Structure 1
Amino acid sequence: MPRVADGAAIWRIARDSQVLDLNSSYSYLLWCHDFAATSAVARDPHGEPAAFVTGYLRPECPRTLVVWQIAVSGAYRGRGLAAALLDGLADRVARTAGIDHVETTIAPGNAASNRLFASFAERHGASVERRVLFDAGLFPEQGHEPEVLHRIGPLAPVARN
């Protein structure tokens, strides 16, 4: 789980991804404080964040984990870290909160995230429903792509040890 002290490093990873919508540095501190139980961090050999995934339980559907952002530092890309983080987080939150679905939004041009979540669904024996959640015209800045909601589930039950 992330610690508040990880907030600045997570913000930098998000910024350096050049794909994610960058939130304020304050928001990443809040994620690490308020949503640590539904987020995860992978650490480098020195204990610094190398990748992160942030999420929350959908208030009106608490069996759904919403993945807000996921990113891997450039030095650690191409090693399967994002998939491992996503699998680990989903398994942990399934055990602690009983989730059976994962949702995320992805811009159509984000090929890496589209592949990541499609392969997540395959690994978990789940179907994927897609629909535009936020049309491009809703965003105040020009050129923002629509955000497509990916609803993945039901997830196969987690084996309890």
Structure 2
Amino acid sequence: MTVARELLLDTPGIEDGAALWRIARDSRTLDLNSPYSYLLWCRDFAGTSVVARTAHGEPIGFVTGYVRPERPRTLVVWQVAVDEAHRGRGLAAAMLDDLAQRAAASGVREVETTITPDNEASHRLFTSFAARHGARTERGVLFDTALFPDGHGPEVLYRIGPLV
């Protein structure tokens, strides 16, 4: 799916792992995982993830996700990030829509994600995603602060569905 003439939405490959790690690091809002985990993600969960590329193939954004083993009709969106120079053009929404469309072809009918209370951009992204897909949204704390060893804030679960 093309977002703009110069951008392409694609499936990530292991060669994209380092770039995804850099984009996550530079976001300054995401919890940064190890570089190794991004390589694994691009290998093991490429089918439930998306990368946005420039016309030259350079990754400039990504959405990582997986299908919940206990709920095979549920796509969990792990991280969404767009390189700072490419923000404000609707790229995150386009990647999320593309991934949801691909996942729906495999039987996914619901999207889950968690968002910290202070991440307004993600709250807006997933609220507008639900509206575009005619889905209701349930919210509630999934992981309270006390569960984290490092003072991390609570993670609010967004359960969005059914997708239309």
Q: Distance in 2 between matches of 1:145 and 1:110?
A: 11
Cα deviation 1:86-122 (Å, max 9, x = unaligned): 0000001111x11000000000000000000000000
- Secondary structure in 2 matching 1:145: coil
Equivalences for residues 51-70 of structure 1 within 5 A = 51-70=61-80
After the TM superposition, list the runs of 4 or more consecutive aligned residues in structure 1 that deviate by more than 2 angstroms. none
Cα RMSD for the two superposed structures:
0.5
Partner of 1:4: 14
The one-letter code matched in structure 2 to 1:145 is G
Equivalences for residues 137-156 of structure 1 within 5 A = 137-142=146-151, 144-156=152-164
Q: Distance in 1 between matches of 2:104 and 2:163?
A: 9
Q: CA deviation at 1:145?
A: 1.0
Partner of 1:47: 57
Aligned length: 154
Percent identity of paired positions between Structure 1 and Structure 2: 70
Unaligned runs of 5+ in 2: 1-10
Partner of 1:122: 131
The one-letter code matched in structure 1 to 2:157 is L
Q: Distance in 2 between matches of 1:13 and 1:45?
A: 18
Q: Distance in 1 between matches of 2:54 and 2:147?
A: 38
Equivalences for residues 76-155 of structure 1 within 5 A = 76-95=86-105, 97-142=106-151, 144-155=152-163
Cα deviation 1:48-92 (Å, max 9, x = unaligned): 100000000000000000000000000100000000000000001
Q: Distance in 2 between matches of 1:63 and 1:116?
A: 21
Q: Distance in 1 between matches of 2:54 and 2:157?
A: 31
Cα deviation 1:121-141 (Å, max 9, x = unaligned): 000000000010000111111
Unaligned runs of 5+ in 1: 157-161
Q: Distance in 2 between matches of 1:48 and 1:102?
A: 27
Q: CA deviation at 1:45?
A: 2.5
TM-score, length-scaled by structure 2: 0.93
Equivalences for residues 29-44 of structure 1 within 5 A = 29-44=39-54
